[in-house]
Structure 1
């Protein structure tokens, strides 16, 4: 992996991840899609039938496998919330980029999306409380933070490309 994108649901991880992979001429993997492939069922079904605990275990195994592949990885919003996943992200040499967005932006992006289990289960207040609780976990795992609200996905992707290039130059010079 060249980079891992983290952030709350609706922050743009998948959209930016695809663009970033295209710019870097590499593969893109979406952790949620990899989980669906591995489980043979949608995430909403995994949550409903097996619960969040089983989902997080499957997520951890899938994350470890994904890190062995080339490309850009867009994670699920809850990926860094378990201690095991957080440790994987923070100890990996792969750059972790937190795509952050304001509450208003997140709500506007996820309001009509019934494919997100937590959006279906939580009211607005609970959803924003969850976002706030996760912020410290995202910050702890991130090597770079990008506020996405006023940027297009293309602008975000370009900032990441520029940052990755600068980081590579520092390593070469060291």
Structure 2
């Protein structure tokens, strides 16, 4: 199962809950990138640029996409066509769709995660970034989960319900 969505949409948090409920590993691609790069994403961006970062991200998606695990992707995973193709060929790609105002609030209040593409951006710039990616999220997802006014636990439960529906349909 692969979780996609904009930065701050809850992919990591919901992914951890799902992995625990399903008793399978959870791979957070951003965490794996930091491990592999031996530096923060912000540092890598500053040294090598976004294109080099996206290449590393694509390599990790390809590596982990076949694992029996919950995979939480970075918010920009859908920007590369090769990633969208990989995602579209799966029946278990979940887009966590989150209200723009809620995303902006989360990003502005998150002191733990430094997001190079959101840092020093106005709410209008973040909204424009989200709107530019929205068609790619929708194109890549098998299931869209609206997260507004839901706890991570409620989102995970909805995904599990959807997962059962998907597998029942596939096995008919």
When the two structures are superposed, what TM-score results if normalisation uses the length of structure 1? 0.93
Aligned partner of 1:40 among 38, 41, 51 = 38
Correspondence list, 1:55-94, <5 A: 55-91=53-89, 93-94=90-91
Secondary structure at 2:109 match in 1: coil
What's 1:162 paired with? 161
* Equivalent-residue separation in structure 2 for 1:34 and 1:90 (angstroms): 22
Cα distance, 1:165 vs structure 2: 1.1
What's 2:103 paired with? 106
What's 1:96 paired with? 93
CA-atom RMSD in angstroms: 1.2
What's 2:24 paired with? 26
> Are the aligned partners of 2:91 and 2:166 in contact in 1 as well (CA < 8 Å)?
no
* Equivalent-residue separation in structure 2 for 1:121 and 1:87 (angstroms): 32
Deviations 1:74-103 (A, max 9, x none): 100000111121112112x35110001111
Deviations 1:142-162 (A, max 9, x none): 111111111111111011111
Moved more, 109-118 or 128-137: 109-118
What's 1:8 paired with? 6
After the TM superposition, which segments of 4 or more aligned residues of structure 1 sit over 4 Å from their partners?
none
* Equivalent-residue separation in structure 2 for 1:98 and 1:82 (angstroms): 16
When the two structures are superposed, what TM-score results if normalisation uses the length of structure 2? 0.94
Cα distance, 1:121 vs structure 2: 4.1
* Equivalent-residue separation in structure 2 for 1:165 and 1:22 (angstroms): 17
